[in-house]
Amino acid sequence: MVNLLIRQARLVPVGRGVVPGPAGRPVDVAVTDGRVTAVGPDLPVPAGASNAEVVDAEGRWLIPGLWDSHVHLGQWTLASQRLDLTAARSPEDVTQRVAERLAELPDHPVIGWGHRSGGWDRDVTVSELDAVSGDVPVVLISGDAHHAWLNTTALLHLAMPVRDSVVREGEWFAAYARLPTLVGDDGTSPEAYARTLDAAAALGVVGLVDFEFSGGAADWLHRWENGCDRLRIRMSTYAEGLDDVLRLGLRTGDVLPGVADVTGPGDDRLTMGPLKIISDGSLNTRTAWCCEPYADAHRLEYPAGQPNLSGAELHELLARAHAAGLEVATHAIGDAAAAAALATYAATGARGSIEHAQMLNRADSRRMAELGIRASVQPAHLLDDRDLTEKIWQERSARCFAYRWMLDDGVDVVLGSDAPVSPLDPWLAIAAAVHRSADDREPWHGEQALTVAEALAASTDGWGTVAVGHPGDLVLLDADPYAAFPTTAEQGAWLRHLPVAATYVAGRAVHGEGIDLG
């Protein structure tokens, strides 16, 4: 049956090779059983469909729903409750903020987020954090999520060896899952998740790929039963959860078991996503695996970073996932990591994505296209990493966030946020891809910028201009995303604040003024 009829909407042209122009005359769009079934002028409400929701778009602009292809949803949900350290410029700034928080809330554990120590002139120590925190646990998670600065009390609570340095990479990822033993899990309750999903829907997001470190099918089904059936979710797994996924016989794209019992047969909104592999580290920690040493290699144990897995381990994981029908999402920030991941995709026949692809050689961009491997990228990272990249990768910055290379080479580029590393905000990602600057400086390597049409197409999960057969995942905008401006700075500012009037998932309103969300 028709469950949604949108009248008088202007279809925004979306897709590869689209040349934006003036919007055509408004049309009507009908959604039946979650899919678009008719597009045209003056569509009638079919007989027997009197209960359909009829929305007068009044000439607003209609686009396919937006996707965030890389989110750590639990961490993003928790981020609003954490001590914000994104503005900290030194270890002293951080310890002062911690002391202030403890003065406000004595005896409460402090969980901080967002400091970026990669640009500081010295390494931090546990002892200086102990000096301001005493016996209250303190866990300060870096802005790239690849290390954490803990005090001694927190180290002991999370069952880690006492040391005077930060906890990095695999050791930290394992410890992160134990954080609820320190602070409880109220911040990641179904109610908290629902608030996060509602905020995403208000930005036009209809779906996301969840790369949270903990959880699994049972956790997501519990959320689904308790009000989190807002958006489309693709749940990933890590190597630690792979056996459980294989035991359930889940392949990428399969609806998670039990969804039909909760929201009815035919509900395809909660599905299995890829196996996630973190093959190297990050820029901030100098653990991204590079072909050449970092500019400050003299301070590093591993001058060019290092892989997190051996070649044999990477091969075994990709081969195992591929045999089981799972796509693979391989985190690769350094150029050596990207090259190794692509070689392993080729050797195993696995399919999926390179996550981040932050620095790569042109030959590897072309190799990605040949293999049909997606580039899942987060443009807002270039705003944060610009200065540090110039400092420690120097002339290699010309090969960083190389979106123009990848698109021109035929790579399927999709955008995301990596929230909470960057905000879960598709318009920020689109604006960053177009303008490539967060301040008054010129675009950083503007030759690698995307057009608005290209960035929008990379944000809609492959769906082009709204048409019959598309999912009923639709967004009404109060303004034209293709409005022309003389500079990319003005274009980016416009995109950052583009107003979303309503968002629909499978024909159901999940955001919109005056709409009862139930």
* Secondary structure tally for the chain: helices H, strands E: 18, 21
d(CA 51, CA 29): 16
User: Which residues of the chain form CATH 2.30.40.10?
Assistant: 1-65+463-518
Report pTM: 0.88
- Say if residues 276 and 211 touch (Cβ distance below 8 Å): yes
Question: What is the pLDDT, as a whole number, of residue 213?
Answer: 81
Q: CA dist 28 to 143, 236, 433, Å?
A: 44, 36, 32
d(CA 226, CA 221): 9
d(CA 65, CA 80): 25
Residues of the chain with pLDDT below 70 are: 1-2, 46-50, 185-186, 513-518
CATH class in words for 279-417+424-462? alpha beta
Q: For residues 287, 288, 289 and 294, what is the CA-based torsion angle, rounded to 10 degrees?
A: -80
Neighbours of 411 (CB within 10 A): 25
Amino acid at 255: V
Question: What is the pLDDT, as a whole number, of residue 105?
Answer: 83
Q: Domain spanning 1-65+463-518 has what CATH number? A: 2.30.40.10
Amino acid at 183: V
Neighbours of 373 (CB within 10 A): 26
Q: Domain spanning 81-183 has what CATH number? A: 3.10.310.70
Question: What is the pLDDT, as a whole number, of residue 515?
Answer: 44
User: Which residues of the chain form CATH 3.10.310.70?
Assistant: 81-183
Question: What is the pLDDT, as a whole number, of residue 81?
Answer: 72
Question: What is the pLDDT, as a whole number, of residue 224?
Answer: 97
d(CA 298, CA 455): 39
